Amino acid sequence: MPVRKVVRIDDEKCNGCGLCVTPCAEGAIQIVDGKAKVVREELCDGAGFCLAVCPTGALSIEEREAPEFSGEAARDRTTQPMAGSKQHITQRCFLCGSGEGAEVLMPCRFKGDSLWVCVRCLPRLIHG
């Protein structure tokens, strides 16, 4: 097996909030029994986009032996939910509360928090 970058989840620090599930475009992270898990290592590309959203610092990137990343498996994964896990957790705009079913949401950082803002509220953030 190759040595490469993959996400590591600290079970002690994870509170199961699920904020890391949606930012993982490959569907590698799911909430299983109340904790975030990398369900299959070949789904994790090691990009680390999930790290910034974790409020407890439970996520990190480590270099270790892991199966090669598979773009094909990631594409299959996003269309085939795994039984017993949450495939998708709906996020909401921190300003107006709109869900992603109603507005396009974007991730942002503010005063140490990872937040989602909708495109309607974005101009307010930029221009005050």
Query: Which residues are at the interface with ligand SF4 (CB under 6 A)?
Result: 9, 14-20, 36, 53-54, 56, 58-59
Q: Least distance from C-beta 20 to ligand SF4, angstroms?
A: 3
Burial of 117 (0-12, 13-18, 19+ CB in 10 A): buried
Give the type of residue at 98.
Answer: S
User: Encoding tokens for residue 101?
Assistant: 């079913």
Residues forming beta bridges with residue 52, ordered by sequence position:
none
Largest CA distance in the chain: 51
Helix/strand/coil for 108: strand
Compare residues 15 and 90 and give the one whose CB is closer to ligand SF4. Answer: 15
Q: Cβ of residue 94: shortest distance to ligand SF4, in angstroms?
A: 15
Distance of closest approach, residue 12 Cβ to ligand SF4, in angstroms = 11
Which residue lies nearer to ligand SF4 by CB, 22 or 98? 22
User: CA 101, CA 109: separation in Å to the nearest integer?
Assistant: 22
Nearer to ligand SF4, 56 or 90 (CB): 56
Q: Which is nearer to ligand SF4, 15 or 99 (CB)?
A: 15
Residue 114 beta carbon to ligand SF4: minimum distance, rounded to whole angstroms: 8
Rg (CA), the chain: 15
